[in-house]
Structure 1
Amino acid sequence: MDIRKWLIVKPKTETGKKTETGKKTETGKKTETKSKVYIVYTDGSSLNNGQKNCIGGIGVFFEDDSPFNIGEQMTFESDGKISNNVCELTACLKAITTIKDFPEFNSIKNAIVIYSDSKYVINSITIWSDNWEKNGWNRKDGNGQIKPIKNLELIKEIKGLTRIYNIQFRHVKAHRTEPKGIDKDSDEYKFWYGNMMADKLANHAAKTKL
């Protein structure tokens, strides 16, 4: 499958007006927004991780041939914060902002489920951030000393979005071989395939010469 068509391209939503629950149509009938779960796979990749010449890539995968699949390159900026974890977090953020901008997205009835192979991302958003926030967005090391939190702005932005939208995180194992002898419609196969495609998008983006 050629994934190059999704590289360095920011997805565009379809034009048109958003239909809100309870709004009357031209015929006078009320429309209803059905509940829906948006499933997306995210991944991040980096070359020369953490160094000044680091080049990263993010991968966001919805499904085959989706115009919203993203493979985007990240390069070193003045703050020097490009790393594999930055790419992982950015991929999650990109997935959320893409979905919430869908014309049909309803923040009350719809949910977002993000599958990521990064325990760092999932734990940062769903577990550690609660304690960090209580401590004034600082963390304590093993000796009780206050330490700064890496990638704090990204974490705070994603955390804030989880308080506005119904966002759930699910962990998937990384770099697995293709499951054999199972139905391709099974959850196990879908989890593998989605993660594999997000990984391909991220890696290809990181390695692509601009």
Structure 2
Amino acid sequence: MSLIIYTDGASRGNPGRGGYGIVLKWGSTIKEIAQGFKLTTNNRMELLAVIVALESLTREGLNIVVYSDSKYVIDSVVKGWVFGWEKKGYTGKKNPDLWQRFLKSYRKHHVQFQWVKGHADNPYNNRCDVLATTAADGGNLLADSVYEEEFYAR
């Protein structure tokens, strides 16, 4: 049996307030995770959703299917771009801090990615969207410190 993970990221403005939403499904067991941030981007939230989902797992070597509407995340992995970026030290690439975190967790499991159309008829993806936007609009916002440091240094 595979662990099924649905993820979504959102931002109110790009950059702006943002959040991620995650639904983990193992058989009939479902767990939801969400968090909002003061200043970030949509792509950072899409990627962070996958990272947090993988980092939340207590066992290694799981068979996982990640469903996401983010072509940024899926294409970067499935087309192998992120592995090339890693070899070249992420020179000129955005979000190297998150891609490094992603690869650390990704390599602990057997992960497949599946694109799902956003804001369509997939109830788990729609739930992730609600979790992400609610978190972005919420009051318990964290600082995306790496992004904020880069943003304010411009």
The AA in structure 2 aligned to 1:198 is: C
The yes-or-no answer on 1:88 pairing with 2:46 is yes
C-alpha contact (below 8 Å) 1:88/1:121 kept by paired residues: yes
Q: Is the 8 A contact 1:111 1:167 kept in 2?
A: yes
Number of equivalenced pairs: 137
1:159 corresponds to which of 79, 98, 103: 103
User: Residues 136 and 57 from structure 1, CA distance in 2 versus in 1: closer, same or farther, beyond 3 angstroms?
Assistant: closer
Gaps of 5+ in 2: 141-154
- Candidates 86, 91, 103, aligned match of 1:133: 86
Q: Aligned in 2, Cα 1:164/1:71: closer, same or farther, shift over 3 Å?
A: closer
| Aligned-residue RMSD, C-alpha | 1.9
Q: Secondary structure of the residue that 2:11 maps to in structure 1? A: strand
> What does residue 35 of structure 2 align with?
72
SS in structure 1 of the partner of residue 2 of structure 2: strand
More helix by share: 2
1:92 and 1:40 mapped to 2: Cα distance?
8
Q: CA deviation at 1:65?
A: 7.9
Q: Which has the higher contact order (CA 8 A, sep 6+)?
A: 2
Equivalent residues of 2:24, 2:53 under 8 A apart: no
1:69 alignment partner, SS class? strand
Q: Deviations over 1:15-35 (max 9, x none)?
A: xxxxxxxxxxxxxxxxxxxxx
- Structure 1 stretch displaced more, 164-173 or 194-203: 164-173
The percent identity for this pair of structures is: 35
Equivalent residues of 2:11, 2:45 under 8 A apart = yes
Runs of 4+ in 1 over 4 A off after TM superposition: none
